[in-house]
Amino acid sequence: MAHAGFATTPKPPYYAVIFTAQRTEEDRGYEAMAERMVSLALAQPGCLGAESARGADGLGITVSYWTDLSAIAAWKADAQHLVAQQLGKTRWYDHYELRIARVERAYSGPEGR
């Protein structure tokens, strides 16, 4: 069953890209670009889904899920994504951490609801 806001991922192993970022006050075009990048990522070969949350303090976490490292590398090198990455660095993010991880186990719950 699909749950709004959650990625429906297969049995592990697969990969996660964990992107934690603190936004600047600067907003020029951010929302539109963020939405476009999520749509574009989800349409990439090998993308399994994404989950995203941002608090009122501007700290956000987006986790995207991928079949393998080569799919992640192809998305990183996508031309439109490169433009967004550059604007993120110069305009939208005070700080970010990006981690690439291999998902080994997964659980969901609560059971029986």
Interaction site with its own copies (CB under 8 A): 3-7, 9, 12, 15-16, 18, 20, 22, 51-57, 59-61, 63, 88-90, 93-111, 113
Taking the complex as a whole, the smallest distance from the CB of residue 69 to its own copies amounts, in Å, to 8
Residues 75, 81: contact at Cβ < 8 Å?
A: yes
Rank residues 45 and 97 by Cβ distance to its own copies and give the closer one: 97
CA 3 to chain centre: 17
Question: Quick one: which of 13, 36, 19, 42 has its CA closest to 93?
Answer: 19
- In the complex, the smallest distance separating the C-beta of residue 91 from its own copies, rounded to whole angstroms, is 9
Closest distance to its own copies from the beta carbon of 90 (Å): 7
Question: Coil, strand, or helix at residue 18?
Answer: strand
